[in-house]
Structure 1
Amino acid sequence: MSKAALPELTLSLQFADPSHRALLPRHKVIRWMRAALENPGEIAVRIVGAEEGQTLNREYRQKDYATNVLTFDYEHEPVVQADLILCAPVVEREAAELGISVADHYAHLLVHGTLHAQGYDHEDDGEEAEAMEARETAILLGLGLADPYAGRERG
């Protein structure tokens, strides 16, 4: 897809936890997310600490721990409207465990969350999960990043 063909993105980028602000320049976040958008989007991205991440995960998913990314999708068409919440300490820990840079892990999670915002799902192993992960992989490879599922079980 050519750069001119990428959907427009209105982005609100918020840092409740500023520890990774330098890793997430606005132009890179927009590039990563636009690569995953199929329609124009209005998306807020909020980088949070462990406490806020855990509170939101507990309140909205009934899981009492901080997770890497939460997607709140409100509208898929004609304009994608969503909030993505990324927990900085979890992203940093996972990047270290995976042996990749924190910025590359953010790129993957922003693509992942953007796909969720458009209705993609992977909760149940099966065709839908495989389709989402294949789409993620293609997008990340197109951005010059590694396949996040290489060498790991999908799902």
Structure 2
Amino acid sequence: MKPTAEELAKKASAQPAPATQPTAVQPAEPVAVSAESVQLDLSKVKIEPLFADMVEFDTFAKSDFRVVKVEACEAVPKSKKLLKFTLNDGTDKKRTILSGIHNYYEPEELVGKTCVAITNLPTRMMMGIPSEGMLISAVYEYEGHEGLNLLMLDDVIPAGAKLY
């Protein structure tokens, strides 16, 4: 069973740790740290190194980051990791995106959330279901466990708003 955010926070506050520099992340057990009140001991967080190669601005500008509203979310049958999202992207068409974040979130806790997606990626088949983009998450290591937080925005931001 993965530790809860509250268990991690309690453990982190119980023992001080020396400050360390961020280092490369190795595969680790997942940990849920999505509770609003959780404060991580940042000296124990490890992140992946920044990319050394630069990306041309014009290449980056081709990515269409949009605000999306989660209208429905369900586990994908026969998959331990995938969640299927039905999203409002500000158009008349509902967008389907699959994301491998079921180790971190239950589908019902994501319905109604406001997230960020890249909407102009080619459609990709996953478990026989077309996925029309990618949801944006933050990934890191904390005390030997992989942490992931789906990027969620203020609910007053309308679906379809472009991010720059």
In the superposition, the TM-score normalised over structure 1's length comes to 0.24
Pick the structure with more strand per residue: 2
Bigger relative contact order, structure 1 or 2 (CA pairs below 8 A, ≥6 apart) = 2
> Which is higher, the Rg of structure 1 or of structure 2?
2
